[in-house]
Amino acid sequence: MSLAEKIPQQLQAKIDNIIDNVEPSPWLNAAEQADYIEKIKALLKEKDAVLIAHYYVDDAIQALAEASGGYVSDSLDMANFGAQHSASTLVIAGVRFMGETAKILSPEKTIIMPTLEAECSLDLGCPIDEFSQFCDQYPDHTVVVYANTSVEVKARADWIVTSSNAIQIIEHLMAKGEKIIWGPDRHLGQYINNKTGANMVLWQGYCVVHDEFKLNELELLMQAHPDAEVLVHPESPEGVIAKADFVGSTKQIIAAGKRSKADTLIIATDHGLFYKMSQQVPDKRLIPAPTGDKSATCKSCAHCPWMAMNTLVNLYEALRDGSNVIEVDEVTRQKALIPLNRMLAFSRQQGILTAGDA
């Protein structure tokens, strides 16, 4: 077994254990929820802070981000918004790599997260020492990593990509004749290989949420809804991606939904996206792609266990106490900044990010 396959497999038990021990969010009644929202809004003003949330976090946090002058988006756009915003504190509701990305881009700002326990299976499945050893086996290859990685892995990379810009960046590198190592998501890597012919060497990590989407059940659902369009996040398995009418990042899936003429959309991504999606396309029927078939487990819920760790309560406490601050080593940060800035500059040039996005 190659190094690229061994490490993610070894980590599976650890990841399963983490998922099994995720604490359920505290239940709040409507009055308590409203009270937390008002207290958080007041603290955001008092502390010159802005709340930036990913589409997969709790609906109430997404609504609060928007109502308080913050932002809800995909990982690329969150990074761009935070870097361009004038607030001295960024509160990142999402998973740790998103907070770290904000810190890499804005070292002068205080970056707070509702919890520092919110990980990502892609990040956990790509430890720096083993990944670096893997890269060393291909010294003439350009190292491209997904944003869902640690600061150390980013610092080892030549390029960072997100699902919004991965295809364009790989095509750009191919045009220059570069050979490429890709990590950590094997499904996204395979999708890029299939679409571009890049023949990248793939690390074998995966997202525990998207890996659960099931082809057989999706086919049955498509038969039941023959006019539906299928929108898929590229962290999903190859067979599921092959059925898609559109493949893209969370933000791009929403945009594709808005463009779509179909009355019904089948969506293969974390169900957190349905909050924003249903606002944007209120007249369409939205159906979650199936995660359950004969091999389904209790983890097949299409919701990221780490995103779910962000709650109004821990968000309030972190902001109140100035706790859960993201720190990164300065030397590593400066190394990681190079490929990150490369990605942002490329994305702006290509119109994937526009200067006015923030």
Residues at the contact surface with ligand SF4, assessed by CB under 6 A: 95, 120-122, 148, 207-209, 235, 270, 304, 306-307
Beta-ladder partners of 229: 265
- Comparison of 163 and 324: residue with beta carbon closer to ligand 13P: 163
Dist. CA 98–CA 147, nearest whole Å:
8
Size of the site for ligand 13P (CB under 6 A): 10
Q: What is the DSSP letter of 313?
A: H
- Choose from ligand SF4, ligand 13P, none: what does 121 bind? Cβ within 5-8 Å by kind: ligand SF4
Dist. CA 326–CA 305, nearest whole Å:
20
- Comparison of 36 and 121: residue with beta carbon closer to ligand 13P: 121
Is 74 a binding residue for ligand 13P by CB under 6 A? The answer is yes
Beta-ladder partners of 143: 181
- Comparison of 164 and 314: residue with beta carbon closer to ligand 13P: 164
As measured in angstroms, the least distance from the Cβ of 148 to ligand SF4 is 5
- Comparison of 36 and 310: residue with beta carbon closer to ligand 13P: 310
Is 163 a binding residue for ligand 13P by CB under 6 A? The answer is yes
Residue 145 parent element (H or E):
strand 141-146
DSSP 203-234: --B--TTGGG--HHHHHHHHHHSTT-EEEE-T
Task: Please identify which residue in 53, 200, 207, 312 interacts with ligand 13P, judged by CB under 6 A.
Answer: 207
- Choose from ligand SF4, ligand 13P, none: what does 150 bind? Cβ within 5-8 Å by kind: none
DSSP 326-340: ----HHHHHHHHHHH
Is 75 a binding residue for ligand 13P by CB under 6 A? The answer is yes
Q: 3-state class of 321 per DSSP?
A: helix
Nearest to 79 by CA among 111, 110, 105, 43: 105
Backbone angles phi, psi at 6, to 5 degrees: -65, -50
- Choose from ligand SF4, ligand 13P, none: what does 352 bind? Cβ within 5-8 Å by kind: none
- Choose from ligand 13P, ligand SF4, none: what does 75 bind? Cβ within 5-8 Å by kind: ligand 13P
Q: Tell which positions 236-265 bind ligand 13P, by CB under 6 A.
A: 249-250
CA 59 to chain centre: 16
As measured in angstroms, the least distance from the Cβ of 42 to ligand 13P is 29
Q: Report helix angle 30-46 to 59-67, nearest 10.
A: 40
Residues 6+ apart with CB under 8 A from 27: none
Per CB under 6 A, which region of 57-65, 70-78, 171-179, 285-293 contacts ligand 13P? 70-78
- Choose from ligand 13P, ligand SF4, none: what does 163 bind? Cβ within 5-8 Å by kind: ligand 13P
Dist. CA 53–CA 64, nearest whole Å:
9
As measured in angstroms, the least distance from the Cβ of 15 to ligand SF4 is 9
Per CB under 6 A, residues contacting ligand 13P are: 74-76, 148, 162-163, 207, 235, 249-250
